[in-house]
């Protein structure tokens, strides 16, 4: 479903990706942990096709249409309502009107946004904006979800709801790559764990039932 | 099948931009105030016995359009930096040319609105009758506007991620505006001096060629300008 082979990319003298390879099957979630500047966001951008790698290749079944992106910036327009934003992004993904209405209603209910559909994004709290951003990323029903620090700015409850939503989606066959510098936030969601340092995977393996504390210890050992 | 989709996506982008501008009205209001200010300054700052209004008016009209358009084009891609929406646009499975075309349409509507406000004010402030030449004047303004807005929209995309975007855009754009501005000023002067239309046709043809060349070039070059 998602394949990365020998990805390499540099920005000037800084090597952001250095021979990164992995594959994901439907329903699998890879959590990539690493300090700031490790190359995590570059990896996501290469997987999304926003950056062309200097070497190697990234392939997602279904191409760009199959990708959803949730970042720490919501990619929404503040002057538009939640509904208008979702309509705009659905149009760019050629989602038919009938499907749009069904998905929009379902997502708004799942994300607790049904009372905010006609409010402008600029009037919403940070937590509600992030929920709207999740609805935006899922409006075209992507088969692969790329998440860049998605818990930034969310309170504990909203973060827990996002984790639940991602777990449900994974159970339905959606593959995800989650990058974050906070091990506690992403470990439970992952079927696979990678630790990234200086553009390389210092560790890549199935989580194999290890809890957040064990993953934290592994992370400290691998990155130190 | 490709063209209808490209046009549909372009219209989606354009209508979104226009709705955002309609809701905020910040750019249109600031540009309208700028236009009035320029006309007031020129009206009271020049001696009509030294240079007649008909001689001076075309230059003032096109200087006003130029700077109003630059103000407008600066915001075209700035809007997409809000909450990193530009990355979302680039990730969407649409042809990148449709993003350019959408921005071009929105900018043209925006600049045309400014021109619609400016021409009656211009006629009023400088006591220059435009009604007898309205149709050829509209054709002239439309042809000149398409050319410099097409180039400006491309440069707006190129500069938006730079630190000095608002400075770079006019610096890059102005050299490309010299030719269409020159042709437009001369043609406007001839129109207002009641010269025969056959004298203006040559300028209109050159503006049309400029439009075709630069819209085509911009559509081809745009995808490369937004790649990281």
User: Does B56 score more than 70 pLDDT?
Assistant: yes
- Give chain A positions within 8 Å (CB) of B82: 77-78
Q: State the Cα–Cα distance between residues B154 and A60, nearest whole angstrom.
A: 30
Who among B12, B87, B91 is closest to A88 (CB)?
B12
Interface of B with A in 11-50 (CB under 8 A): 12-13, 16, 19-20, 23-24
Pick the residue with more confidence: B183 or B29?
Answer: B183
Tokens read off for A49:
């096709």
The region, left, alpha or beta by phi > 0 then psi within -120 to 50, assigned to residue B159 is alpha
Question: Quick one: closest CA in A to B9, which residue?
Answer: A92
Instruction: Examine the predicted complex and report whether its ipTM is higher than 0.85.
Output: yes
Q: Is A83 on the interface with B (CB under 8 A)?
A: no
- Give chain A positions within 8 Å (CB) of B13: 92
Question: Quick one: closest CA in B to A52, which residue?
Answer: B228
Question: Quick one: closest CA in A to B84, which residue?
Answer: A75
Give the residue from B1, B7, B11, B85 with the most A CB atoms within 10 Å of its CB, the best one to mutate.
B85
Give the residue from A10, A44, A45, A50 with the most B CB atoms within 10 Å of its CB, the best one to mutate.
A50
**pLDDT at residue A45 in the model:** 94
Q: Which residues contact B107 (CB under 8 A, 6 or more apart)?
A: B69, B72, B73, B76, B149, B152, B153
Task: Look at strands A144-148 and A67-70 and give their pairing.
Answer: parallel
User: Does B1 score more than 60 pLDDT?
Assistant: no
**pLDDT at residue B126 in the model:** 86
**pLDDT at residue B228 in the model:** 65
Percent of chain B whose pLDDT exceeds 70: 99
- Give chain B positions within 8 Å (CB) of A64: 91-93
Q: Do A49 and B91 touch (CB under 8 A)?
A: yes
Q: Is B85 on the interface with A (CB under 8 A)?
A: yes
- Find the helix or strand (DSSP H, E) in which A212 lies: helix A212-223
Q: Do A92 and B92 touch (CB under 8 A)?
A: yes
Q: State the Cα–Cα distance between residues A62 and A104, nearest whole angstrom.
A: 22
Q: State the Cα–Cα distance between residues A124 and B142, nearest whole angstrom.
A: 41
Q: Do A92 and B24 touch (CB under 8 A)?
A: no
Give the distance from residue B92's alpha carbon to the nearest chain A alpha carbon, in angstroms.
6
Q: Do B16 and A77 touch (CB under 8 A)?
A: yes
Q: Is B94 on the interface with A (CB under 8 A)?
A: yes
DSSP state of A190: -
Q: What is the mean pLDDT of each run of 10 residues along chain A (224 residues)?
A: 93 91 94 91 93 94 92 91 97 96 94 94 90 94 93 80 86 91 82 92 88 87 79
B148-184 burial, b at 16+ Cβ within 10 Å, e below that, comes to: bbbbbbbbbbbbbeeeebeebbbebbeebbeebbebb
Average pLDDT value for residue range B75-90:
88
Q: Which of B209, B204, B165 is nearest to B183 (CA)?
A: B204
Q: Do B91 and A67 touch (CB under 8 A)?
A: yes
Q: What is the largest CA-CA distance in chain B?
A: 61
Q: State the Cα–Cα distance between residues A81 and A93, nearest whole angstrom.
A: 19
Who among B9, B13, B91 is closest to A50 (CB)?
B91
| Distance from chain centroid for Cα B138 | 14
Q: Do A91 and B83 touch (CB under 8 A)?
A: no
- Give chain A positions within 8 Å (CB) of B94: 92
Give B2's pLDDT tier (boundaries 50, 70, 90): low
**pLDDT at residue A151 in the model:** 84
Q: Do B85 and A78 touch (CB under 8 A)?
A: no
Looking at B82-133, list the stretches that DSSP marks H as alpha helix, in order from N- to C-terminal side.
Answer: 85-91, 96-126
What is the reported pTM? 0.90
**pLDDT at residue B166 in the model:** 81
CA angle A37, A43, A47 (to 5 degrees): 160
Tokens read off for B111:
């600049």
The mean pLDDT of chain B is 90
| Distance from chain centroid for Cα B69 | 4
Pick the residue with more confidence: B71 or A102?
Answer: A102
């Amino acid at each position: 479903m998602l394949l990365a082979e020998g990805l390499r990319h540099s920005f000037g003298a800084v090597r952001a990706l250095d021979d990164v390879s992995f594959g994901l099957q439907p329903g699998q979630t890879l959590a990539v942990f690493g300090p700031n500047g490790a190359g995590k966001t570059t990896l996501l951008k290469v997987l999304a096709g926003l950056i062309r790698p200097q070497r190697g290749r990234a392939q997602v079944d279904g191409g760009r249409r199959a990708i959803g992106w949730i970042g720490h910036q919501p990619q929404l327009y503040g002057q538009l309502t939640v509904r208008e934003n979702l309509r705009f992004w659905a149009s760019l993904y050629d989602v038919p009107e009938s499907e749009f209405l069904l998905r929009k209603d379902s997502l708004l209910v799942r994300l607790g946004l049904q009372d905010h559909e006609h409010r402008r994004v600029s009037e919403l709290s940070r937590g509600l904006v992030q929920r709207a951003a999740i609805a935006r990323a899922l409006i075209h029903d992507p088969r692969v979800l790329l998440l860049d620090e998605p818990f930034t700015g969310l309170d504990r409850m909203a973060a827990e709801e996002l984790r639940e939503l991602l777990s449900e989606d994974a159970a339905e066959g959606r593959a995800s790559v989650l990058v974050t510098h906070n091990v506690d936030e992403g470990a439970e969601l992952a079927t696979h764990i990678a630790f990234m340092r200086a553009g390389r995977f210092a560790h890549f393996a199935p989580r194999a039932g290890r809890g957040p504390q064990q993953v934290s210890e592994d992370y400290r050992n691998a990155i130190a | 099948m490709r063209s209808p989709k490209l046009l549909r996506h372009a219209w989606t982008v354009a209508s979104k931009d226009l709705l955002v501008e309609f809701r905020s009205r910040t750019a249109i209001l600031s540009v309208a105030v700028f236009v009035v200010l320029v006309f007031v300054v020129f009206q009271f700052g020049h001696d009509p016995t030294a240079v007649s209004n008909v001689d001076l008016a075309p230059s003032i009209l096109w200087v006003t359009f130029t700077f109003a358009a630059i103000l407008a084009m600066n915001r075209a891609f700035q809007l997409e930096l809000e909450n990193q929406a530009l990355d979302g646009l680039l990730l969407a499975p649409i042809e990148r040319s449709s993003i350019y075309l959408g921005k071009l349409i929105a900018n043209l509507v925006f600049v045309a609105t400014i021109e619609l406000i400016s021409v009656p004010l211009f006629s009023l402030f400088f006591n220059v009758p435009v009604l007898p030449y309205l149709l050829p004047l509209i054709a002239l303004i439309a042809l000149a506007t398409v050319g410099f807005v097409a180039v400006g929209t491309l440069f707006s995309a190129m500069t938006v991620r730079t630190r000095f975007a608002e400075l770079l855009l006019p610096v890059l754009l102005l050299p490309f505006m010299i030719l269409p501005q020159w042709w437009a000023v001369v043609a406007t002067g001839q129109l207002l001096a009641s010269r025969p239309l056959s004298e203006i046709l040559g300028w209109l043809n050159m503006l049309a060629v400029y439009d075709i060349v630069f819209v085509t070039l911009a559509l081809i070059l745009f995808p490369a300008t937004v790649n990281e």
